[in-house]
Amino acid sequence: MVGKFALKKAKDGQFMFNLKAANGQVILTSELYMTKTSAENGIESVRINSARGGAFEERTNSRGEPYFILKAANGQEIGRSEYYSSKAAMENGINSVAKNAPEAIVDDTTV
């Protein structure tokens, strides 16, 4: 089984996607995009940048929960993870994005 990008329309008419692991768990959520084409370009950016060294920035929220951000080569945020219970769980999430993104299919629910 492979992961998938779930491309959908947000409530305000913008577009976004979630990268889901093969087990269906959301491992990365995109920003909002004004157009479907921009969201599709964001998916391609995740595919490319998930394999690039230094693309993942590890962070901690105000409650001390770790999470990560995937950034493009120009430093722009492409997507972010959920909050994790531990640094090890967050590292598993990063590894899952790197493993699933390159071959993930696109499930387009915007039509």
| pLDDT mean over 6-12 | 93
pLDDT tens-place string over residues 31-42 = 999 999 999 999
Question: Rounded to whole angstroms, how far apart are CA atoms 20 and 103?
Answer: 12
The pTM assigned to this predicted structure is 0.92
Kindly tell me if the per-residue pLDDT of 111 is higher than 80. Answer: no
pLDDT number for residue 2: 82
Domain segments of the chain: what residues? 4-108
User: What is the three-class DSSP state of 93?
Assistant: helix
Strand partners, 77: 71
Kindly tell me if the per-residue pLDDT of 109 is higher than 80. Answer: yes
pLDDT tens-place string over residues 60-98 = 999 999 999 999 999 999 999 999 999 999 999 999 999
Question: Rounded to whole angstroms, how far apart are CA atoms 96 and 8?
Answer: 21
Quick one: CATH architecture of 4-108? Roll (2.30)
pLDDT number for residue 25: 92
Per the prediction, the chain carries an average pLDDT of: 94
| pLDDT mean over 45-56 | 94
Kindly tell me if the per-residue pLDDT of 110 is higher than 90. Answer: no
- 42: burial class by Cβ within 10 Å (0-12, 13-18, 19+)? buried
pLDDT number for residue 56: 97
